[in-house]
Chains A and B, each alone.
Chain A
Amino acid sequence: MYLKTLELRHFRNYTAQGVEFTAPKTILLGDNAQGKSNLLESVELLATLKSHRTSRDRDLVQEDETSGSISATVQRDLATLDLSLILRSGGRRTAIRSGEKLRRQMDFLGALNAVQFSSLDLDLVRGGPGERRTWLDTLLMQLEPVYAHILGQYHQALKQRNALLRQNEAQTAPTDRAQLALWDAQLAALGTRVMRRRSRGLARLAPIAQDWHHAISGHTETLTLHYAPNVPLEDDDPTIIQAAFLDKIQQRAIAELHQHTSLVGPHRDDIEFTINDTPARQYGSQGQQRTLVLALKLAELNLIESVIGEPPLLLLDDVLAELDLNRQNQLLDAIQDRFQTLITTTHLGSFDAQWLDASQILTVKAGQLLSGFTHA
């Protein structure tokens, strides 16, 4: 797929800005805080309806404005799609796909696919389990849009159950046992669906990531991705998982009553990365962790391509400079011209000359894009 044009209105620090992408690679050049990452964020929003930087639309709309919008034309194999997303500082979003206002925003997912690789991703290994869950969830939503709905339902049930546990704070009478059992059942049923999809998605990604990792590390290291669910997942049978889920809730019942929050479920899952059988989190060097994240991202690109049938976009946010030359080359080799890539950088020094010639270079300055660049 190819992102042909992008138009931002009252989005972050952009008042009104249109861009036409003329080459498979676009380099967004500019100093810090000029709006480079904002532009990538807008593409991320179109692809996932989420931003890794904020969860409030108020932050996305330009200051003192009530609404902003992102519009794009995407060239797919079979058709050209017009996408637009209207964001409101105090209201719901509107998603429009080829002129049709979508009743459910889930239908918007899948029109544009993108893999985001920012310097924040470098913390994926060392960061908390929440970041790894978000990473996997974002990938799954692109692979199977239904997952967004399932995850949303799970979180709704979780919120309701937590609300009930908090109510019990005042009255510790067992009158609400029956009601709690009800939410246990819902949580287990929905949680099982989340877990199975996570496990399945990770199983598809793992071998590709392993291959990439093997190649980048010079065939010395073996990467294993291991799904570490909060509820044991020994069998892929939903009824067995649900039973295990309810079992574990039983075990943690007293703790839950004291902490007034749900302690069992996929909202406490983790994903373990091991290199040559040692956990990367504790033992991996800075370089090893970078190799790992790079392998994950390349695997994401391949997996999305194989599922969607079209190469997704790659968004490189300030990350190229953080990789050494060897890894940079690995990445650029893998991308070639197949994956449309948007790259943000503060300087062009670390780029290969041949590469620069083939790229479209845009200078970003205070929410404005200028074609080309001037040598300093």
Chain B
Amino acid sequence: MSGDFLPFTPVAGYRKRLLIEWKFCVRRLPPIYARPLARLIEELQKLPGVGPKTAQRLALHLLKRPDSEVQALAQALVDAKSQIGYCSICFHLSAEPVCDICRSPSRDAQTICVVADSRDVIALEKTREYKGKYHVLGGLISPMDGIGPEQLSIGQLVHRVNKDKIQEVIIAISPTIEGDTTTLYVGQLLKPFTRVTRIAFGLPMGGDLEYADEVTLARALEGRRELD
């Protein structure tokens, strides 16, 4: 082809691309950060919620701290990663094969609260109101993300309910489409064996009725209950 002999093929937009590349070179030529610092910033940026500016602030802060403190942080990171795994019963994060909650004798062993994520366990624990045990599914059913029931710890939950003669399963999963579907699925599986409930949805405490949106209000109406 005749095009092969040309030094370059003038495709549409090549001038813009050259310009971008040129800009890129100019920006990269003088190194702003020393290499190890650049690497640290790069790594910090991978963390959720950390952008380039925060990463730079954190990195510069770390450099100012005494060696021992930085050493301790590094050690803590490595230790946490190597020592924390999943509880073999409830799949909550745990340093032991069985987590503190599952081992605790003071907890009601006949109630299980089903949540999507370990973060939800922490949120519920902060209330100090729930005295039963947990089961962490590890996500929600979402075919778009390739997550089916097999990818979640649902089988283990059913097994647990059967084996431990559980009296009540409380489902505490967010009211999204995926959350509702997961709730439906878990509910259907467990209904034959035990009592299955779902946490109520409605108004936040201290919230004004007039500021609540229609969907929340409609849901709150659905979940109304007898005045006692």
Contact = CB atoms under 8 A, between A and B. Distances in A.
Contacts of A186: 177, 180-181, 184
A323 B141 CA distance: 52
Contacts of B177: 153, 156-157, 160, 186, 190
Chain A interface, >50% SS class: helix
A183 B214 contact: no
By size class, the interface of chain B is 10 to 19
Interface in B161-219: 177-178, 180-181, 184-185, 188, 213-215, 218
A159 interface: yes
Nearest to A155: B177
Interface stretch (A38-46, A114-122, A161-169, A288-296): A161-169
B144 A159 contact: yes
Interface of B is mostly: helix
B48 interface: no
A164 B142 CA distance: 9
Given A149-B215, A160-B143, A182 B148 contact: no
Interface string A324-353: 000000000000000000000000000000
A289 to B, nearest CB: 36
Contact of B218 (A145, A146, A182): A146
Interface string A169-190: 0000000101100110110001
A160 B149 contact: no
Contacts of B142: 160
A161 B143 contact: yes
Nearest to B185: A182
Nearest 7 A/B pairs, CB to CB: A164-B143, A163-B143, A163-B144, A156-B177, A146-B214, A160-B143, A157-B177
29 contacts: A106-B213, A106-B215, A145-B214, A146-B214, A157-B177, A159-B144, A160-B142, A160-B177, A160-B178, A160-B181, A163-B143, A163-B144, A167-B143, A167-B148, A176-B148, A178-B149, A178-B185, A179-B141, A179-B143, A179-B148, A182-B181, A182-B185, A182-B188, A183-B181, A185-B184, A186-B177, A186-B180, A186-B181, A186-B184
Interface of B: 141-144, 146, 148-149, 177-178, 180-181, 184-185, 188, 213-215, 218
Given A106-B215, A167-B146, A186-B180, 9 more contacts: A145-B214, A149-B215, A160-B142, A160-B178, A179-B148, A179-B185, A182-B141, A182-B188, A190-B177
